Structure 1
C-alpha cells in the first residue's frame, strides 16, 4: 500500500479558526499527521476538502 502523503503545499498560514490556507487542515491535524494511520489521514483529507477559510472579524486580520 502506498503511503498517504501530507497535503502541505508550503502555504503555512492560518485563518482566525486555526485552519491552514494551504492545506485546509487544522493546527491539531497538522501536528498529529505523522501519528495518524491511513484511515485517519483519509478522514482528515475528506474534512479538509469541505473547509473554507475565514477572516478574524474582531481584529480585521486575515492571518494569525
Structure 2
C-alpha cells in the first residue's frame, strides 16, 4: 500500500493557534507527518477538514 501524500498546498502560514492556513494541520501534525501510519494520516486529514483558522499572527486577518 502506498503512503498517503501530504495535504500541503504550499500556503505555509500559521494562524495565532499554530494551524496552517493552507492545509489546516497543526505544527506538530506537519512535523510528524512522515512518522504517521496511513490510518493516523487519515485521522489528521479528517481533523484538519473540521478546523477553522484563527486570525493571522501578523496581520490579525482571516484567510479562510
Q: Would you say same fold, with TM above 0.5?
A: yes
Q: What is the distance in 2 between the residues matched to 1:8 and 1:17?
A: 18
Task: Mark the runs of 5 or more structure 1 residues left unpaired by the alignment.
Answer: none
RMSD: 2.1
Q: TM-score, normalised by structure 2?
A: 0.85
Task: Mark the runs of 5 or more structure 2 residues left unpaired by the alignment.
Answer: none
Q: What is the distance in 1 between the residues matched to 2:33 and 2:61?
A: 25
Give every structure 1 segment of 4 or more consecutive aligned residues whose post-TM-superposition deviation is greater than 2 Å.
59-63
Given the superposition, is the C-alpha separation of residues 34 and 56 from structure 1 closer, same or farther in structure 2, using an over 3 Å criterion?
A: same
Q: TM-score, normalised by structure 1?
A: 0.85
